[in-house]
A and B are shown apart, each in its own frame.
Chain A
Amino acid sequence: MSRLLSKDFLSGVMFIAFGLTALWFGRHLAMGTTVRMGPGYVPHMLAYIMMALGGIIVVVALLTPGEITEAPKWKPITMVTIGIVCFALLFESAGLIPALIVLILIASLGGDEFKLTEVLLNMVVLAILCIIVFKVGLSMNISVIRGVW
């Protein structure tokens, strides 16, 4: 059972999954001939090679003891990802400052220490810095707060 959770086994599975995905989404691409290769020739070739490699990795992982995958800590990766996505959603629709506030808040929640005053301080400092550098300094075409500045 533990071998099914080893780093090697899981990465082998990942490679096979990527290969299958590529085959599925590339199924309509013409293979062409070896002389005049179609757009699908190289993708298919790569997908098969990758699946073969993934298969070998899986087999080797099952036969030999390997390193167990560390259980991921969900908080940092989830918070960072959500933070970036929120930033992307807010940046154009609401402006730099709202996007910045949300990103810093969410990203700070991802760390193991959270003090509100520190986070607020961080926001203020970074907001001023960003406005000076990007808006004033590099005169980037961005709105600081949508509709206001």
Chain B
Amino acid sequence: MDLLHNLSLGLGVALSFQNLLYALVGCMVGTLIGVLPGIGPVATIAMLLPITFHLPPTAALIMLAGIYYGAQYGGSTTSILVNLPGEASSVVTCLDGYQMARNGRAGAALSISALGSFFAGTVGTIIIVIFAEPLTRMAQKFGPADYCSLMALGLVAAVVLASGSVLKAIAMVFLGLLFGLVGTDVNTGAQRFTFDIPELSDGIDFAPIAMGLFGIAEIVVNLERRMSRSGAIKVTSLWPTRDEARRAWPAVVRGTALGSILGVLPGGGPTLGAFSAYTLEKKLSKTPQIFGKGAVEGVAAPEAANNAAAQTSFIPMLTLGIPSNAVMALMVGAMIIQGIQPGPEVMTKKPDLFWGMIASMWIGNLMLVIINLPMIGMWVKLLTVPYRFLAPAILLFCCIGAYSLQNSTFHVVQVAIFGVLGYIFVRLGCEGAPFLLGLVLGPQMEEYFRRAMLLSRGDPMVFIQRPISLGLLIATAILLVLMALPSIKKAREEAFQEEG
């Protein structure tokens, strides 16, 4: 059995003392930052990128994955206890989670969310194990032209499902692609947009951009809006009542199924999963009127869905090298910094890293449940620390982190510059996620594009002559046309209205 062999290989790697420790540290630090109000997983991962750089690749990725789950878990905690979602995917959790907390059921909401997430994470991991190999084998048949088209599809799909204006999001992708070009041209050695700054000749470092765009900009926005605290809620018993458990588990199962499917889609990921799961529960419920007033299903389903989706969104990243959302773009960036080019080769060339990371995902999920439920009291305390203490502290750690990347203050200045840029993006309603996707895929896409054109002797028809590439391009075109259709545009806008 290949599957079992792979799993045991992965578990062997993940269960080594060192990797267990990094997974644990990742989960803890991720939760620590993620639990801070107003800071979501993307900002958390961006800010914590530097601490993983000096680790060996496998350990670094295991730790990053741990940070991701931890941040998400922390986000649910803040949503439930203080009604401040860190990011879009936990907005839904606020709706009923905070109401449950106000009804004195905070503990139950937290444990349902944690256990539901764990179940979903387990299922998600199994799905990755099953699908990773066939998908990888398929991807190995891809030529440069096919890859280029696949990336185009990935980028467009990510944009379509991202919120806000499609046009602006596409422009953001191009801006990201443009920033990705900075540095030495691989083929000719020419310096592009380096302004004679030696530090830029290897390209703009990914980490300062991510830290500035997501970390700093988020802190500034939080500083602007006066953080009104509705007062953290006391957590009493963690145990859900029998009735609550009975209502929660079918919702968890449905949420997991929906989340797993939506997570694989480019641009899908946790947010879409959580919203769809909530809507589905409300439709299926015999008592839709209790939704928004503390319905157990309204916490269980979206929490399961966002965790399942968080898990399965690793599939396109690990097998094809295509990140489907901002978090995955950060992961790709981290892999590239570690010298690993994400794509189908990872599984064949570095099976220990690949399967080790997958096995550690499950372990990370398990750790979160075991560690965090008992530690909930500590996280609640942390929630009461005022933002005026936290903001300077976070800034300080960002600065030291950025410096530690290459012991250079230039990186710290870059963080400041991209912080300003990120702030402008926020003010102008431009999404940072498409920019990041473009930035990460840019260099590769140019490489594939140039190689494809070279192989075809400059004939752009190559993109439509190869069947795989043609299919992918048609899918891209269909997506774009669908977006322009008035009826779909309207439905989409309504969906985002509800979210906002």
Contact = CB atoms under 8 A, between A and B. Distances in A.
Given A88-B412, A118-B388, A77 B193 contact: no
Interface in B415-441: 415-416, 419-420, 423-424, 427-430
B450 A37 contact: yes
Given A14-B424, A69-B427, A39 B185 contact: yes
A80 B223 contact: yes
Interface in B147-174: 165, 167-168, 170-171, 174
A72 B427 contact: yes
Nearest to B403: A91
B140 interface: no
Contact of B389 (A70, A73, A100, A118): A118
Interface string A1-22: 0000001101100110010001
Contacts of A10: 428
Given A53-B171, A81-B416, 9 more contacts: A11-B429, A14-B424, A15-B175, A69-B428, A70-B427, A84-B216, A88-B409, A96-B400, A130-B396
Given A76-B223, A84-B395, A141-B407, A35 B388 contact: no
A140 interface: yes
A69 B423 CA distance: 13
A111 B454 contact: no
Interface string B389-401: 1011101101110
B224 A76 contact: yes
A18 B424 CA distance: 13
Interface in A85-116: 85, 87-89, 91-92, 96, 99-100, 103-104, 107-108, 110-114
Contact of A35 (B391, B446, B454): B454
B192 interface: yes
A43 B219 CA distance: 32
Contacts of A108: 388, 392
Given A47-B178, A53-B170, A80-B216, A42 B395 contact: no
A7 B164 CA distance: 12
B404 A103 contact: no
A73 B222 CA distance: 12
A142 B402 CA distance: 13
A33 B458 contact: yes
A22 B223 contact: no
A39 B187 contact: yes
B450 A77 contact: no
Contacts of A15: 171, 174-175
Contact of A38 (B188, B226, B404): B188
B419 A11 contact: no
Contact of A25 (B193, B403, B412): B193
Contact of A53 (B167, B388, B457): B167
Nearest to A33: B458
Nearest to A76: B223
Interface of B: 165, 167-168, 170-171, 174-175, 177-178, 181, 185, 187-188, 190, 192-193, 195, 216, 219-220, 223-224, 226, 387-389, 391-393, 395-396, 398-400, 403-404, 407, 409-410, 412-413, 415-416, 419-420, 423-424, 427-430, 446, 449-450, 453-454, 457-460
A124 interface: no
Nearest to B423: A77
A25 B420 CA distance: 21
25 contacts: A15-B174, A18-B175, A34-B458, A34-B459, A36-B454, A38-B188, A39-B187, A39-B190, A40-B192, A46-B178, A50-B175, A50-B178, A57-B167, A69-B427, A72-B423, A81-B419, A81-B420, A84-B416, A87-B396, A96-B400, A103-B395, A104-B392, A108-B392, A111-B388, A122-B393
A40 B187 CA distance: 11
Contacts of A33: 458
Nearest to B186: A39
Contacts of B389: 118, 122
A38 to B, nearest CB: 7
Interface string A38-64: 111111001101100110110010000
